[in-house]
Amino acid sequence: MIQSGILNPHLLSLLARVRHTNTLVIADRAFPNFPQLEIVDLSLICGVPTVLQVLDALKPNFMIGKVWQAEQFITANSREIVSSFDQAFASIPNVIIERLDHDAFKKLVPGAIGLIRTGDATLYGNIIIESV
């Protein structure tokens, strides 16, 4: 039995299939459904877990080279929320951050290996992470 780290078997199965340059979406509770993607729904209640909590859980075993996020995130959220995401991204060595229009962001989603849905309610708080 797994004693530490990620315990969710569906999430572990998805992560085991990620290879070099594959992407994963970590999305909020209201992110649209993409039927062609495998979805691991971790949402429990509003705000649990958050996108950043899932990102933190993935970081020890997921080499992240790039993060995409909607540019609308900056103007839709408080300075504190933006800062918390920036700090989380800054803790990833050599990561490239790209913010783009939300519609362009959503066009990248179908190319992902899968989508992890959270209970997060942060406006435009969705991210796409790319494996190194």
Of the candidates 72, 58, 66, 48, the residue with the CA atom closest to the CA atom of residue 125? 72
- Which one from 1, 20, 79, 93 is the annotated catalytic residue? 20
CA distance 14 to 115: 9
Angle (CA) 76 124 8, round 5°: 145
Phi and psi of 35, rounded to 5°? Answer: -55, -25
Report the helix count and the strand count for the chain, using DSSP H and E. Answer: 5, 6
In which element (H, E) is residue 16 found?
helix 9-16
Q: Are 24 and 129 in contact (CB under 8 A)?
A: yes
102 is catalytic: no
| Residues noted as catalytic | 20
